[in-house]
Amino acid sequence: MKKLPVQIPRIIFCLLLAAVCLLIYHHTSGRSPEAVEVVSGTDGSYIKWVDFNVSYEALCTAYDLDVASYDSPVHINWIELLAYAGAKCGGTFDKSSISLINKLAGELSDEKITIKELTKDMKYYDYYYEAYEAVLGGMVGEYEIQQENEAGEKVWKKVYGLKAFSPIAKGFPYNDYDDFGSSRSYGYKRQHLGHDMMGQIGTPIIAVESGYVEALGWNQYGGWRIGIRSFDGKRYYYYAHLRQNFPYALDLEEGSVVTAGDVIGYMGHTGYSAKENTNNIDTVHLHWGLQLIFDESQKEGNNEIWIDCYALTRFLYKNRSLTEKNQETKEWFRSFQMRDPSVTEYKNMTKLSGNNTV
C-alpha cells in the first residue's frame, strides 16, 4: 500500500480545527454573553460571600418605583429590580443600570411580562435576589408612625415606604467617606469592615432596623458596642466606639427589642484597649457595620460576610429620626413613635414559644 504524504494529515488536522472553530462561532453567535462571572456565589446550601455594589442612584430609583406602584395593579418590588440589574450587569451599577431598572419597571407595569417569566433562564438572578434581599429585606414595608398635624398634635398615620433609618439622629452633623476595606493595625493587620461616621461626642445613635439586642458591652476593638439582629436573622448591625461612661440607652440590655428609629446609644471614641471604658480612638465617630448571615456558622470566624455600607448610608439619609432630650436623665428619645408590624409579630412569636427575655 502506498504511504500517504506527510502533509495530508496536517491538512486534515487544519480542516478539523477550522470546523471546530466554526461550530463554536455558530453556537455563540446571536447570543448575548454572560454579564460577568459572579465573584460572589453559592457553595452548597447557602451563600458564602457577597459584594454589595449597588449604587446610591440605583437604590433611590428602585425604591421610588416600588413606592409609586404600591397602590397600582402591579406592585413593583425594588429588590427584584435591583437583582435583575445585578444579574444583567454582573453586580456593577452605572447609568446604564438605571436605564435598565426603569425599562424593566415599565414592562412590568404594562403587564407585558412578569419577573418570573423574565428571569426563569437567567443564570445569576436567584443569587442576586437572595443576596440583595438579605441586605435590604427589612427596610421597606407598611408601618404606622406619629406625625404632627396642623394643630401641633401627634397623630398616627399608616404609610408604606422606607422604615429603616440613618444611624445618626436628625439635626446632628457628621461627615463620612467610603472607607470600607481600608487597613487597620490595632491588634493585628486587618481590613476595616464597616462604615465610619465622624461627629460629636454624645450624638444620639439610631437603630437602623427593628430587631433584638444580641450583644451589649465592651470589646477591645469596638469599645462600648451594640449588636442588633434583624428578626429574620439575616442581618447583624454593629454599632461601635460608643461614649465613655454613658454609652447606651439606659433601658437597653441583651434581649431587648428595639424599633427602627429608636435611640440606642451615643457617639464616642472608646476602644482599642483591653481595659473597659477607655478612650483610645483618636477621632470621635460611629463605626457601624452590617453583617449578612445565611448560616449560623458565618456569625463569627473566618466565614463572616460584611458589606460596604457607604451607598446604603447615603440612601438612609432619606429617613432620619428626630430626637429630644430629657434634661433630668440626659437621655435622648425619638420624637415620633413608630409601630412596626415586624416588632409585634416577633413579640407574639416569642410569647408563644415561651421565651420571656423580651
- Identify the pLDDT of residue 353: 79
* 116 contact partners, CB below 8 Å, separation of at least 6: none
> Is the same domain home to 130 and 170?
no
Identify whether 64 is part of a domain.
Answer: yes
Q: Which one is predicted more confidently, 350 or 344?
A: 344
Question: Which residue in 179, 279, 196 sits closest to 238, CA to CA?
Answer: 196
Is the pLDDT assigned to residue 22 strictly greater than 60? no
Burial class of residue 245 (count of CB atoms within 10 Å of its CB; 0-12, 13-18, 19+): exposed
* 80 contact partners, CB below 8 Å, separation of at least 6: 115, 129
> Is the same domain home to 121 and 170?
no
Identify whether 156 is part of a domain.
Answer: no
Q: Is the torsion defined by CA of 298, 301, 304, 309 positive or negative?
A: positive
At 24, the pLDDT band (50, 70, 90 cuts) reads very low
Length of the chain: 358
> Is the same domain home to 239 and 318?
yes
Q: What is the pLDDT of residues 86-95, one digit of tens each?
A: 999 999 999 9
> Is the same domain home to 125 and 260?
no
Q: Is the torsion defined by CA of 191, 197, 202, 206 positive or negative?
A: negative
Structural domain containing residue 208: 164-352
> Is the same domain home to 170 and 295?
yes
Count: domains in the chain? 2
Question: Which residue in 175, 235, 164 sits closest to 206, CA to CA?
Answer: 164
> Is the same domain home to 124 and 170?
no
- Residues 88-127 as b/e (b if ≥16 CB within 10 A, e otherwise) read bbebbbeeebbebbeebbeebbeeeeebeebbeeeebbeb
Identify whether 299 is part of a domain.
Answer: yes
Q: Is 175 left (phi over 0), alpha (psi -120 to 50) or beta?
A: beta
Identify whether 318 is part of a domain.
Answer: yes
Q: Count Cα atoms within 13 angstroms, Cβ side, for 203.
A: 28
Q: Give the C-alpha separation, 143 to 161, whole Å.
A: 8
Identify whether 31 is part of a domain.
Answer: no
> Is the same domain home to 180 and 130?
no
Q: Are 169 and 261 in contact (CB under 8 A)?
A: no
Q: Are 212 and 347 in contact (CB under 8 A)?
A: no
> Is the same domain home to 331 and 283?
yes
Identify whether 348 is part of a domain.
Answer: yes
For 54-116, the DSSP string reads --HHHHHHHHHHHHHTTTSSSPPPHHHHHHHHHHHHTT---HHHHHHHHHHHHHHHTTS--HH
Q: Is 214 left (phi over 0), alpha (psi -120 to 50) or beta?
A: alpha
> Is the same domain home to 179 and 105?
no
Average pLDDT over residues 323-339: 97
Looking at 83, 116, 136, the residue that finishes a domain is 136
Identify whether 104 is part of a domain.
Answer: yes
Is the pLDDT assigned to residue 181 strictly greater than 90? no
> Is the same domain home to 211 and 321?
yes
Identify whether 25 is part of a domain.
Answer: no
Looking at 117, 136, 155, the residue that finishes a domain is 136
- Identify the pLDDT of residue 75: 97
> Is the same domain home to 120 and 171?
no
pTM value is: 0.86
Q: Are 212 and 256 in contact (CB under 8 A)?
A: yes
Q: What is the pLDDT of residues 245-293, one digit of tens each?
A: 999 999 999 999 999 999 999 999 999 999 999 999 999 999 999 999 9
Looking at 86, 120, 136, the residue that finishes a domain is 136
> Is the same domain home to 77 and 213?
no
Find the CATH number of the domain harbouring 224.
2.70.70.10
